[in-house]
Structures are given as structure tokens and as C-alpha cells.
Chain A
Amino acid sequence: MTIELERTDDVLFLEGPPLTHDGGDPGVDRLPPAIVETNPPSVDEPGPPESDPDVPFRPSSFGPSDRLEMVLAAVSGLAFAWALCLVMDWSHPLTFTIWAIIWFVAGIYVTARARTSKVVAMDRLVTTLIWLSGAFAVAILGWMIVFVLIEGIGGLVDDLPRGEWIARIGAVGLMIAAVVGVRWRSGRRSAAGTDTVLSRLLPRVVGSACAVGALMVLLPVINTEFFTADIAEVGPLDEGGGIYHALIGTLEQITIATVISVPIAILTAIYLHEIKGRLAVPVRFIVDAMSGLPSIVAGLIVFTVWVNTGRGFSGASAGVALAIIMIPIVTRTAEEILRTIDDGLRESALALGAPQWRSVVQVVLPTARAGLITASILGVARAIGETAPVLLTAFGSAVTNYNPFSAPQADLPLFIWGLLREPNEAQIARAWSAAVVLLLLVLVLFITARVIGERGARKRTGR
């Protein structure tokens, strides 16, 4: 590598078309000539500020004056957009935001261009745009979650006076603050080496006490009817009714899907990474293709071979369809996990004379356990929100059907889907409340998977 760098170093001082590619070495090809053009400031461009010749100039460095420029651009952008909206009589916040951002980005480019060089200005422009796209993605995710929560939370809790709400939420907030504070303090103490048995125990005690306290404050206000009643005898315009039948359906279908898909997926991952058999290449290719399979096609195939051949709609067929969706997700994640396990572990098992199956069952799988649980939970989190395949296989129902092997069954997404098709406020409100439950389920599953996965990864790499 050093040689290549030296070579391009020479090229830097060439005038005119610099590089004569010697073709053979791809490394040289990839260090592209275009860098050369960006590097030495040509004559007609204002050079970098020559304050101290010993300090190397970095085009991407960001100092106090740049920060000032950025603040000025932001403030002037807001002012400009505000003035524009006043003059043109626009009122939509979206219009305001768009114009403010346009002015902000342009301002950053223009000031950087005026003060330094084209290269720096371009770099600053791209940096701004990329930060904006990051912020945009985070904002969208936050907007969506908050929007769903605001629309749907009302149906999940009892009607209480505003003062009581403030008191309850305030109490929970105080508890969270206490937990965070205690953890932070004990973290500081253990970092400083002044921790005692008590200071190590304290966060756990406070944490569990606050968790119990938060449950005691929040549980009584939850609308229990919503979770314990079904919708069979509730007219579309009536109050009341709940999602019990949908929860039962979700639970049964997801259990069936997990029981089918997780063993297949983990064994397939073992085949792909531990055995590396003859079929490994085509199987990996097909698993990749499966992960791009539209979910409705998974439902359609189960409908074709099972439901439509006289067996009728049922929860179990929905479980099979969901399993088809889960298999590629779990397989891919599980294979990644197996890949992180040190080969030394496998080899030491084999060196002790263990046959391969014992090395896998007693060494590899226990080491990978946390990761494999993570993979399965992520698969469940994906499957639990699928609507289309369940629509074609379980069809949906308003009554509680405990038997997954016969008759249509509801589940959570399907229940929401059915309500959304009805043009009526009460049903839509119910749909939003159920959507909050679904979203919270997915969030809890996702966070659980992450926490387990992280602990497992820390164990595997020995902290």
C-alpha cells in the first residue's frame, strides 16, 4: 500500500493529464486521479487561509468561525422563510420549512465559497445535505411513532380529569429521573474506583422499586375492557368492545409460525455456515430471494395449496404463511451470528475428538444462544405486523376463535385492517388504539431482541 501512495504522490506534481494507468494493479486504479484535481489549489482559486504554515490545512476541519457561519445561515434562513411566508401569505408549516432549508443550505455554500475555496464549499454543502438526510430519517420515524401514539392512546386508557393525568405522568417522570440519576452516579463512582457494595446494589434496588411504582401508577388507568372483550356483539357505532379475539389469534398464529420457522431457519443457517454442503450456494441464493418475496405472495401460496383445497380459512394456515416470511429473516440473522463465533472454539471441540454434531450442539449453539434468540425475536417482530398473508389465510373474524385449526380467525393487524375499511369515526378510533398496541408490541420485541443480542455479543467477545 505504501508504494502505491508514494506513486500517486509523484503524480501530484505532474502538470496536465497525470496518470498513466499501468492496468495490472487494481489498487492504483482505485486511487483515482480526480483527487489530484481537488488537491493543489489552482492559481485562480483563493487558497486556504494561510495562518500558520506548520498547521496542516484540512478541507473538512470545522472551527469556531465555521460554526458562526452555520448559526448565521440557520438564523437568516428562518428569518427569510418567515418574511417570505408573510409577504406571499403562505401559512403551511411545510412550505416554511422547505424555504428555510433551501436558504440555509444555499447560505452555507455561498459563505464558504466566498471565504475559502470551491473544494471546501462543496464539502460543506454535501456535509450539510447528508446531515439533513439523517435528521430527516430520524424525524420521520419519530413523527410516525408519536402520531400513532397520539391518535390511539385515548382508547387505551380510562377518561380521567386532566389534573390526575398530569400527576400520574409526573410521578412516572420523577421515577425515570431517579433511576437515570442513580445509574449515572454509580457509573461515575465505578469509573473512579470508589464504588462500594452498596453503591453497586443501589441502581438495581432503585430501578426495581421504580418499575413497580410506575406499574402501580399506570396500570389502574388502563382501559381493561379494550383488552378483555371482543367485538362480536358491538355494533359499528357503539362504544366499547376490544381486541381480545385479535390478541388470541395473534398469539396462536405467531406461536405456530415460530414453532415451524425457527427450527428450519436455524438448521438452515447451520447448514450454510457449519456444514457448508453442496447445496450451500443455491440455498443461500434462494433464501435471499425468499427475503424479497412479497408477503402477499406468501399468503397466496398457502391459500392455493391449503385453504382453497377445501380446508377453509384457519389460524394455522396463517401461521404457515407467516413462517414462510420468518424463515429467511431468521436464517440470515442466525448465519451472521454463527459467523461471529471464533473458529478456535469449533476447532478445539474437534481436536478433543468430538464429532461435528457434538461440537455444534454443545459448543457452537450454546455460545450463539443469545444471538439466535435475538434472530428469532426479530423474525417474530416482523411477522406480527404482517397483514396481507393473514388476510388470505385466516380471513378475520369478529368472534373469539380459540381453535386455530378450523374456522376464520382474527389477529391484530387484520382487525385493524377490517376497521379501517369502515367509514365511521368510532371504528377508526378503535383501529388507532389497536395500532398503538401493535406498535408497542413491535417496539417491545425489538428492544428485547437488541438487549439480549448486545449482552450475548459482550459475552462472546469476553466483554
Chain B
Amino acid sequence: MALTIPDAPAPDGALIDDVPRPIVQSRTFGDRIFRGISAGAAATCLFIMFATGVFLTWKALPAITATGVGEFLTGDTWQPDDEAFGVGGLLINTIMIALTALVVGVPIALGLALFINEYSPARMRPYLTGGVDLLAAIPSLIFGMWGLYALSEPLSGVAEWLASHLNAIPLFRLTEPDVSLTRSTFIAGFVVAIMITPVITSVSRDVMAQVPRVQCEGALGLGGSRWGMIRDVVLPFGKSGIVGSVLLGFGRALGETIAVVLVIDLVFQPNLNILEQGSGSISALIATKFGEAQGLEINGLIAAGLALFIMTLIVNLIARAIVNRSKLAG
């Protein structure tokens, strides 16, 4: 080739003798405006999240200082008249509902993801993914109504069975023999489990679809069964992505509001007997007490919202970091 490649043009784009003009030209006026507007929109997203953190903290401070940080995070009394706002018990109950949801929801969600990716006939696949998306679009209010009126009764039967047969497990024990088994953490967890299924399924499905097909074919070609292929190729490959998707589901479960409020009775004390009536979550507290709150109690509710915001933000950021990393690796 007769062409000689010139040295890279000077970074500021200035023309040097005998060097072809740089390919990148200075942007036109229209481009600069266009980029500015888009960057402004993108910055709006940053600003919204930033402002959420700042304003919630600002408005939460009066209530937190009145109660004391330690008492706020560990206490379980909510007495606006005594300026006592403790959400410790509610935090535990929130986490218990989310964990119950994970125990029920993760096997279903991962099974569904594997079903769509590996087992279902190809013609069914678009309808199945559509169904999963639809499940995500159904309002949480409708989940709550369905949970309350359709699911509560059969599930309290299951709860009765668990309480009488598996009471060796502390979680399934009852404090008194004839306590009501409806409106409990267990039932709320079930409803929330179905609500977080679509998140876990779609994210883990994306990750598992990125397994190099050659490796799957290799496993099958070596005589492995389909389960052998999943166990030894798909799951190890998608491991971190699956963990990330489960964490995303956990974050969703922590913040679920209306479905939980409809299904449970709000109590402030931590309730580790998950089959018994009485449970709670931060968002349920806000939705329930909001109507009649006045003065400092509003700040207390904002403080509770701040705790929820920080908790879900941390869980979500960790989950996203894990998912993104596993996608990059693929």
C-alpha cells in the first residue's frame, strides 16, 4: 500500500500541514443544542433521585431527632403524642414478608425462566414472555384484592396444617392455640411472591439466554441430559445474574405497598411467628397512618419512608451491579 498513515491529528482538531483533516469535525450549533437538551433530560433523572434523598432526609430529621436515631431504628412503638417513632419492629416485619416472598417466589420464578428458555415449545415462547410481562403490569391493588378474597382462605388452611405438623420449626409455632391465622406475614408473603415473580423471571431469563449456545450443544453432544446441561452449564454461567435477579425481587418485595396493606393487620411489634395474624411493613405504615397524620407524625412517616428508600436503594444498587457485571462477562 502506498498510503502512509499519518500521525494522529492533534487532539484539539487543529489542522497540521500535510495531515488529512480529522474525521470528527466540530459539532454544529444544532448538534450542541440537541446534545444539551438530551443531557438535560438525563440530568433530570439524576436530579430526581438526588432530590428525593435530600428532601426526605431534611423533612425526616425533626422526627428522628425527637425520637433519637437508635430508638427510631430499633424501637417498636408509634406514639405521635409522645414523639416516639420506632420502626425497628416494622423493619423486621418488612424483611420477614420479603423473605417469605423469596422462599415461595424464587423457585417458581426460576422454574418459569428455565421453562421459557429451555423447555417450552418455540411457538409458545412469545405468549409466555407476554404473560410474564402482563403479570408485571397487573396493578398491585388487584393482586391485593385477589389475595384477600381468593387466596386468604385456602392459605390459612395451609397455615393451619403447617402449624400443627411442622411446629418443630420456630417460625411456624403459634403463641396461643386459637390465634387467627389470616392476615399474616405468610399470606402477605405469598401475594408478594407472585408479584415479584416477573422481575426475577425476566432478569434471570436474560442472563441465562446469554450462555454460549456452543457450550450447551457441547454438553448435550457429550451425552449429557438436558438437566445435566442446565446444572453444569447454564446455572454456573448465570449464577451471579440469578443472584442479582433474586436481589432485585427482594428490593421489589421490600417496597410493595397496597397489596400488603390489604392483606395484613398492621402491628408495630416484630412478629416472627409468620403464620399468626399481625404483620407490617414500612410502606403499609405510611399508607395506613397517612390519612390522619398531623404535625410531627407526618415527619415521622417521612422518616419511615426515608428508611425504606435507603434500604431499597442499597439492595437495588447491589443487585444491578451484580446483574450488569454478569452481563458484561457474557
Contacts and interface: CB of A to CB of B under 8 A. Distances in A.
B162 interface: no
B137 to A, nearest CB: 5
Contacts of A275: 35, 38-39
Interface string B25-66: 001101101110111111111101101100110010000000
B19 interface: no
A134 B119 contact: yes
A293 B248 CA distance: 11
Contact of A293 (B136, B218, B224, B255): B255
A222 interface: no
Contacts of A1: 214, 218
A356 B31 contact: yes
B35 A277 contact: yes
Interface string B294-330: 0000100110010011001101110110000000000
Contact of A123 (B227, B233, B257, B302): B227
A463 B302 CA distance: 52
Interface stretch (B80-88, B164-172, B265-273, B282-290): B282-290
Interface in B235-292: 236-237, 248, 251-252, 254-258, 262, 283, 286-287, 290
B183 to A, nearest CB: 14
A294 B317 contact: no
B21 interface: no
B163 to A, nearest CB: 16
A296 B45 CA distance: 18
A130 B222 contact: no
Contacts of A356: 27, 31, 34-35
A304 B223 CA distance: 62
Contacts of A225: none
Interface stretch (B2-10, B67-75, B104-112, B173-181): B104-112
Contact of A38 (B33, B145, B224, B283): B224
B42 A285 contact: no
A102 interface: no
A357 interface: yes
B15 interface: no
Interface string A1-45: 100110011001000000000000001001110111011100000
Contacts of B28: 355
A148 B254 contact: no
A277 B36 CA distance: 10
B322 to A, nearest CB: 12
Contact of B141 (A268, A282, A331, A438): A438
B99 interface: no
Interface of B: 27-28, 30-31, 33-35, 37-46, 48-49, 51-52, 55-56, 59, 107-108, 111-112, 114-116, 118-120, 128, 130-143, 145-146, 149-150, 154, 157-158, 194, 197, 214-215, 218-233, 236-237, 248, 251-252, 254-258, 262, 283, 286-287, 290, 298, 301-302, 305, 308-309, 312-313, 315-317, 319-320
Interface of A: 1, 4-5, 8-9, 12, 27, 30-32, 34-36, 38-40, 57-60, 92, 94-95, 119-120, 122-123, 125-127, 129-134, 136-138, 140-141, 143-144, 147-148, 151, 263-265, 267-268, 270-272, 274-275, 277, 279-280, 282-283, 285-290, 292-297, 300-301, 304-305, 308, 324, 327-328, 331, 355-358, 360, 378, 381-382, 384-388, 391-392, 413, 416-417, 420, 431-432, 435, 438-439, 442-443, 446, 450
Give the 6 A-B CB pairs with smallest separation, nearest first. Answer: A385-B139, A294-B255, A133-B111, A267-B41, A357-B34, A59-B225
Given A144-B146, A446-B133, 19 more contacts: A30-B215, A31-B215, A36-B222, A119-B225, A127-B226, A130-B115, A141-B135, A267-B37, A267-B42, A271-B41, A288-B320, A289-B313, A292-B312, A292-B316, A292-B320, A294-B309, A413-B139, A413-B258, A438-B142
